[in-house]
Amino acid sequence: MATISKRGAYQWQAKVRKQGKPFQTKTFDTKREAEAWATIIESEMTRGVHVDRSLSERETLEDVIKHYKKEIAPKHKGGDMEITRLDRFLRDEKFLCQYSMASLKPEHFEDYRDRRLKDGKAPGTVKRELGLLHSVIEENRRRLGLLENPIAHVKRPRVNDNRVMRFHGDDEQRLMTALDDCRNSWVKPAVILALETAMRRGELLSLQWEYVNLDTCVAHLPDTKNGEARDVPLSSTAIRTLKALPRAINGAVLPTTPEGLKNAFERARKRADLEHFNFHDLRHESISRLFEASWNVMEVAAVSGHKDLQSLKRYTNLKAADLAKKMG
């Protein structure tokens, strides 16, 4: 049975009690809103489809993100990057974070999407951010009693998956010169090793000295993105770069953070007038160079860690001029 009572001078409180069901109460600005809500709750209870939403009304988006950071993200590969992105969201979206989970609607995230794009963020970046927020809410949806994820029907920005980016002319030299001015001394070695090994950023940052054999010229990656370990051959340039590095106490080959590496690289590429070139493009460049050096598909896949040719193909862009030389 529902009861509606005035609370203070300007609000109305609805209370719904039904045997065998959890007690429900909510406060509204008008009596009409309170009555409408109570009618819906009573109907759901009668039909046996009522879901207790009280927790979703108490917990904010900030609470849910913090729960995800603590309980879920550490179990994921790439969890450090998830936490970095969520920290930025908590810092920059304080107003949105104060909404209760029950009051969040698709238009809130559509507004977020549009603002990020207007600020010049790449469509791919915004798409990944929305995907992460969707995962955060989905992980908590059942616990909160949410019937639907408010991001489920938010249209994602269109991304050009056929983006091709290679070094041209003196691009590489300009980048290396710009890297010499980095205060983060680990960034230039990271770039060189990325070009020489085709390792992903996360693989480079997780690489430990105990898995590097400078005598056999092999680096072992015990845990990679696809869940399988792999051995990566080290070129003479990679060996020289590794030998020149100081040893960190924690055993990491490159003891810097994902955010530190990302920010320093972005500043360097700006100085080199290569703002279009991402760190992951180094992997594209490295894999393409292996093919241009006449490595076969299986050899390249062994280095890069790709499981199938189709996945490998989208990372590989051969220069027509180099291929023409082979044709004679």
Q: Which of 26, 188, 200, 284 is catalytic?
A: 200
283 in active site: yes
Q: Which of 53, 108, 113, 315 is catalytic?
A: 315
Q: Which of 280, 307, 313, 314 is catalytic?
A: 280
| Residue 157: φ, ψ to 5° | -60, 145
153 in active site: no
Q: Which two tokens stand for residue 22?
A: 């959890």
Q: Which of 50, 201, 283, 289 is catalytic?
A: 283
Q: Which of 6, 70, 115, 225 is catalytic?
A: 225
CA distances to 75, 162, 299 from 265, in Å? 27, 23, 29
307 in active site: no
CA distances to 60, 72, 104, 219, 220 from 196, in Å? 46, 34, 47, 12, 15
d(CA 283, CA 287): 6
Task: HSE, CB side, 13 Å, CA atoms: give it for residue 293.
Answer: 10
d(CA 62, CA 72): 15
183 in active site: no
Give the residue numbers marked as catalytic.
200, 225, 280, 283, 306, 315
